[in-house]
Amino acid sequence: MSFIRGDATYSDYVGPSGRVYPLTGPRRGTMGIQMLPGADGLLGPSGGLLTDSAARQHGIDISGVSIGAAYYEYNFDVWGKTAREWAVVNRMWLDDWDFLRPGFLRYYTSDFGWRWAQVQQGRDHSGAYKFDPRRTRQATYAQVAVAPSAYWRAKDVEDSWIDEGTHIVRMKLYNGGDVPAWPQLTLTGECGFRIRWRSNDFEVPKLLPGEDAVVSSLQTDQSIRTMKADGSRGRNLLPLTKGRYFKDPIDPGVVETVIIETIGGAGKVQARVPQQFKRPI
């Protein structure tokens, strides 16, 4: 985007209405909203250790980590040149925060590009009107945004392959994020597929004519669901995989070689690796 120059951090909010509010950077305030100093919650997601211990044991065993939702605390200044302009901007801004309808907080830096998080209103807005805001044409609100997913997203890394008779491909899939990534694969063709990387060795049963299969390797929600040509959901293939499941993700900063074979025919593969980050900048 041509207006983003220099080293300053650009941030904006995209409301459920689709309106974009520049908050910091070169265009801050052009919609009558700007972010004030003192944002909190941007240093990483909050979590806790999962521990275990036994009688007479010295210390604890750490078995994992639990990551909760992320909460971001901001102060926003809402202003207008006239009383009517302030009232219109104020109503648009407050209407674009909702407990159920999500929006997006986005950050851009020259080093890391775009990162964004889906957020919703986390609690009631606070901010006392010490004076009539229609006379001052200004109000300041303390607001909390909650992100159900604690990680910031960036553009996914994607790759594709069409089997032209070799029946095997070694895809190089990159995780540029700073948390482990679980790829998603879309498989097409009247054949079966074998997917391997690290200790993962997974076979997808033969697809029927007109079927695509969407494979989610996410450890907490693994699935293989076919999709028909009209977009409707088809068969659940996970019970046909003989109890196999994906064990290893793609580690942060790693280019993983994912070996995919077609079995009993030729097919097509589309791969997507989500890029997730602990911080927006």
pLDDT in tens, 182-226: 999 999 999 999 999 999 999 999 999 989 999 999 988 899 999
Q: What is the DSSP letter of 40?
A: B
| DSSP labels, 156-173 | EEEEEEE-SS--EEEEEE
Average pLDDT over residues 126-149: 89
Dihedral sign computed on CA atoms, order 240, 244, 245, 250: negative
CA 272 to chain centre: 13
Which of 104, 130, 150 is the last residue in one of the domains? 150
Q: Which of 93, 121, 115, 258 is nearest to 177 (CA)?
A: 115
Q: Which residues contact 80 (CB under 8 A, 6 or more apart)?
A: 32, 86, 87, 88, 89, 90, 137, 138
Based on the domain organization, do 142 and 176 belong to the same domain?
A: no
User: Could you identify the residue written with the tokens 């200004």?
Assistant: 138
Average pLDDT over residues 54-75: 84
Kindly report the pTM of this predicted structure.
Answer: 0.86
Based on the domain organization, do 165 and 271 belong to the same domain?
A: yes
Based on the domain organization, do 54 and 78 belong to the same domain?
A: yes
pLDDT value of residue 5: 63
Greater model confidence, 266 or 229? 266
Greater model confidence, 66 or 38? 38
Based on the domain organization, do 49 and 165 belong to the same domain?
A: no
Q: Is residue 178 part of a domain?
A: yes
Q: Is residue 166 part of a domain?
A: yes
Beta bridge partners of 225: 214, 236
**How many whole angstroms separate alpha carbon 274 and alpha carbon 158?**
9
Q: Are strands 33-35 and 192-197 parallel, antiparallel or unpaired?
A: unpaired
Based on the domain organization, do 186 and 131 belong to the same domain?
A: no
Based on the domain organization, do 27 and 135 belong to the same domain?
A: yes
pLDDT value of residue 161: 97
Average pLDDT over residues 130-135: 86
Q: Is residue 128 part of a domain?
A: yes
pLDDT tens, 98-128? 999 999 999 999 899 999 999 999 999 888 7
pLDDT value of residue 2: 42
Residue 4 pLDDT class (50, 70, 90 cuts):
low
Which of 134, 150, 166 is the last residue in one of the domains? 150
Q: Is residue 46 part of a domain?
A: yes
Average pLDDT over residues 48-77: 83
Based on the domain organization, do 127 and 165 belong to the same domain?
A: no
3-class state of residue 202 by DSSP: strand
* pLDDT > 70 in the chain, percent: 98
pLDDT at 56 over 90: no
pLDDT at 253 over 70: yes
Based on the domain organization, do 253 and 129 belong to the same domain?
A: no
pLDDT value of residue 50: 79
Q: Is residue 5 part of a domain?
A: no
Q: Which of 231, 260, 54, 40 is nearest to 143 (CA)?
A: 40
Residue 83's CB is within 10 A of a number of other CB atoms, namely: 14
Residue 1 pLDDT class (50, 70, 90 cuts):
very low
Based on the domain organization, do 179 and 146 belong to the same domain?
A: no
Average pLDDT over residues 75-90: 95
Based on the domain organization, do 273 and 210 belong to the same domain?
A: yes
pLDDT value of residue 67: 80
Q: What angle do CA 99, 102, 106 make, to 5 degrees?
A: 125
Count: domains in the chain = 2
Based on the domain organization, do 136 and 255 belong to the same domain?
A: no
- Per the structure, the complete domain to which residue 200 belongs is given by 155-277
pLDDT at 3 over 70: no
Q: Is residue 3 part of a domain?
A: no
Which of 102, 131, 150 is the last residue in one of the domains? 150
